[in-house]
Structure 1
């Protein structure tokens, strides 16, 4: 896995090694936090099935890990009729292995919207740089589309958080180009990354909990899109894409204290041309990744329940 990235650092191998050391430490710390968050968010409602699978990749030597959440009472082994499907991608900064951190969200969507949720993994940098993660996202969508016996392929929605929101947005736009046979009905985004071309220092917002450090954002840039040509690619910075390529329904949740999703609000305004439904919610006094592992009874839990509840209602209308 290292070769794909290391070729970009052949003139500065120390840069790659420094990134690897820092990210190894961050991955350990993130893993410890992830365990805590998953424990808080891991409640599985009665009669609800969680299936762990491996999705075929375009690369014959590897697969893509995914978790499938079925609504209560749905038995996938009994050949039930296909249901609408939501494909989700987790936050990671494109560097952290975080599959499973959206468990509360995925369970809520499957349970309350009565749909199937495919929570899919993707490759991370610096071992696997752009567009590896995009390829995994596209392969996941194609796999879902190739199983009309399990999923209602006429009702496919995408969602994602932070870097996962970037992948959801990018993949939804690709349905107008390289995924022409697949129709994406909606894309739902939580604090998504939409623009890698701007200097992170130009996006500092007020000091609110969970505001990302500029040094961390720059590390993300260097690990996922180390070359400027990559950052200008619409598959990395979807804000540069043709607005007409996005689905009929676009829902974006941004955070007042976030310094990484400012352009998402600009994107919402640009694609709201009267031909599609665009919902923009700017959540007050919170920062990035605010909805993970929230404390029961807290203000964050109340805000999470409201945001997730609104998403449920949107998905019901699509079905």
Structure 2
């Protein structure tokens, strides 16, 4: 009986989330990313690979091994609500970061619910990081950074907890959701205003059910706000938006990180973007905010290379 109920619940999620995906597909412009290369990164699952878009301002493969210098890397995770296929949405960000900082940027396509629920997405992030670490002649293990947007920002904040301290040089999270323990309808934005980038509440509840189901939402790999130790990298940069209902929890996470940073050499920077909502950098309404935010990331990455 229990297995039948689980199967019916899964079927319901597949149908409803499938319909939402169709709505989004026809209501939004088609993504047309233009990476320099497409990688197939080995997964822990036998016979499976993880697709990653590679952006580079110069050749990644050594032309003369004796003169080749391993490249610094930024691993990026797109936003998805852990349900919507939006791989490639960060093409502009990835290209700009690569061009202006010299980083190789790997934009990874992690798995989504309900077909691949928690912890599938986290495993994909782990596997891509381990792939980078396994090629010290190609990638500089001392300069690995990770970034993410929305649910991808959540993954970027979780990643340092899964590896030894200082595996990552920098972590950048754009409008992450750091707590899924409470009903999303209870959240309030710092400033009341239009947040056209946020999914409807019904969608958000459905996506969460498809992502972690009956798992404990206070698991720090689901809700990093509840982590006992964040395992901070050298630099943490978090962007929130004043119209975004996930902002206050993300700012609470940043405050917790600041407390932990007192006992380390880490630097925590929080930027609340004014007159902006969730996904502000993906809209034409907030071009100035996008430029400001991307400039801040460029400045952070370039500065970390000289220290």
Give me the TM-score of the superposition, normalised by structure 2: 0.89
RMSD, matched Cα: 2.1
Deviation of 1:150 after TM superposition, in Å, equals 1.4
Count of paired positions: 295
CA offsets per residue over residues 249-296 of structure 1, 9 Å max, x none? 11000111112343110010111133320110111222112222x33x
> Quick check: 1:23 aligned with 2:17?
yes
SS at match of 1:272: helix
CA offsets per residue over residues 63-108 of structure 1, 9 Å max, x none? 100001001x435352542111000000000011111110000001
Corresponding position of 1:263 = 249
SS at match of 2:40: strand
Corresponding position of 2:118 = 130
Q: Which runs of 5+ in 1 are unaligned?
A: 1-6
* Residue number among 284, 307, 313 corresponding to 2:274 in the alignment: 284
Following the alignment from structure 1 to structure 2, what is the Cα–Cα distance between the partners of residues 243 and 97? 31
Alignment of 1:154-303 (within 5 A): 154-176=142-164, 183-205=167-189, 206-208=192-194, 209-229=196-216, 231-273=217-259, 274=262, 275=264, 276-292=266-282, 294-295=283-284, 299-303=285-289
* Residue number among 25, 33, 41 corresponding to 1:55 in the alignment: 41
Moved over 6 A (4+): none
User: In structure 2, do the counterparts of structure 1 residues 9 and 141 end up closer, same or farther at CA, with 3 Å as the change threshold?
Assistant: farther
Deviation of 1:170 after TM superposition, in Å, equals 0.6
Corresponding position of 2:139 = 151
Deviation of 1:35 after TM superposition, in Å, equals 4.0
Q: Is the 8 A contact 2:198 2:279 kept in 1?
A: no
Following the alignment from structure 1 to structure 2, what is the Cα–Cα distance between the partners of residues 54 and 289? 28
Q: Which runs of 5+ in 2 are unaligned?
A: none
SS at match of 2:5: coil
Give me the TM-score of the superposition, normalised by structure 1: 0.86
Following the alignment from structure 2 to structure 1, what is the Cα–Cα distance between the partners of residues 6 and 120? 22
Following the alignment from structure 2 to structure 1, what is the Cα–Cα distance between the partners of residues 75 and 204? 26
